[in-house]
Amino acid sequence: MTLVETRGLVKRFGSFTAVNDVSFSVQRGEVVGFLGPNGAGKSTTMKIIAGFLEPSSGEAFVAGHNSRTDALAARKRLGYLPEGAPAYPDMTVGDFLEFIAAMRGLDATAARRRLGILVERIDLAEVWNRRIEALSKGFKRRVGIAQALVHDPDVLILDEPTDGLDPNQKHEMRELIRELAPEKAIVVSTHILEEVEAICTRALIIARGQILADGTPADLLAKAPASDPERQRLVKTTPLEDAFRHITLEQAGA
Ligand SMILES: Nc1ncnc2c1ncn2[C@@H]1O[C@H](COP(=O)(O)OP(=O)(O)OP(=O)(O)O)[C@@H](O)[C@H]1O
């Protein structure tokens, strides 16, 4: 079942085109990695899908609902982790998540039950009464994930979910994404290629606002020139890093 679809998305900021004709779809059970250099247009595309930014042209759909013209219905089916820290830095973690649960329409009993599950799953008990602004980057990221999962949405759009996490926290976040995957359609942006191999069923490579490759990690590897183990040993690259460089630099003619 298609849960995310974009058709010909374009986003211009003045005369600059940040997203240039991006079309793809994501089925339930897929974890799609959004990979690309800085400024490629990943966050902008995610914001458009999440309904936080209007496209200049083209359309995005969440569970069949247009995220611009049918935004409320689309947002009900979607959890979005924006870049950086959660909003409302003055609130405690508990107050913030209870507020989000209320905004999502959960009654007090349902909210208590759901937040109880999330607190345990995402390990937030020790910071429940702390103010968000006083948390470490890793805990802020976890609060962001909890916020995205409060209403158990079908679609998760996660903008660099492991950014700022230590290696153990990165591992836990990847485990969580893997566990959630069968029930949902998940789009994650990342700079970390090993993350794509670890959690993604498919990867989209995006550069200068355009999709340059769309396939399984194995498909992407097949696009790389014959791998050169000696070079990989010397400069410590992996075959997937070589494929990424080839697709984003050489294939794009840079
Ligand atoms: N509000 C804005 N006004 C003007 N330009 C913008 C705006 N938002 C983004 N851009 C530009 O659009 C381009 C794409 O930005 P975007 O944040 O989508 O990239 P990204 O792939 O997420 O990059 P990163 O990996 O660094 O987070 C960048 O050149 C950025 O400077």
User: Both tokens of residue 2?
Assistant: 């298609």
- 7 pLDDT above the threshold of 70: yes
pLDDT bracket for residue 223 (50, 70, 90): confident
SS3 118: helix
> So what's the pLDDT on residue 251?
52
* CB distance 15 to ligand 1 below 6 Å: no
Domain boundaries, the chain: 2-77+153-250, 88-151
Residue nearest to atom 17 of ligand 1 (CA): 43
Residues in the chain: 254
CATH level 2 (architecture), domain 2-77+153-250: 3-Layer(aba) Sandwich (3.40)
Q: Where are the beta strands (DSSP E) in 56-194?
A: 57-62, 65-66, 78-81, 155-159, 185-190
**Whether the predicted pLDDT of 137 surpasses 90:** no
CA dihedral 49, 53, 58, 60 (to 10 degrees): 20
What value does the mean pLDDT take over residues 156-165?
90
For position 195, what pLDDT does the model report?
86
For residues 19 and 83, the model is more confident at: 19
| pLDDT tens per residue across span 62-97 | 999 999 999 999 999 999 999 877 788 899 999 999
- Identify the pLDDT of residue 52: 92
Q: Give the number of other CB atoms < 10 A from CB of residue 206.
A: 25
Atom 29 of ligand 1, nearest CA residue: 39
pLDDT above 90: residue 11: yes
More confident: 254 or 92 = 92
Q: What pTM did the predictor assign?
A: 0.90
Q: Cβ(42) to ligand 1 under 6 A? A: yes
What is the average per-residue pLDDT within 248-253? 63
Question: Which of 1-5, 142-146, 150-154, 228-232 has the weakest average pLDDT?
Answer: 228-232
Q: What is the pLDDT of residue 224?
A: 66
- Segment 33-47 shows an average pLDDT of 93
Task: Kindly tell me if the per-residue pLDDT of 232 is higher than 90.
Answer: no
Task: Say if residue 188's pLDDT is above 80.
Answer: yes
Per the prediction, the chain carries an average pLDDT of: 90
The β-bridge relationship of strands 210-215 and 202-207 is: antiparallel
pLDDT band of residue 248 (cuts 50, 70, 90) is confident
The pLDDT of residue 244: 78
- 34, 44, 163, 187: residue to mutate for ligand 1 pocket, most atoms within 8 A of CB: 44
CA of 13 to the centre of ligand 1 (A): 9
Q: How far is the CA of 249 from the centre of ligand 1 (A)?
A: 19
- Expressed in angstroms and rounded, the spacing between residue 106 Cα and the centre of ligand 1 is 34
Residue 253 has pLDDT above 60, yes or no: no
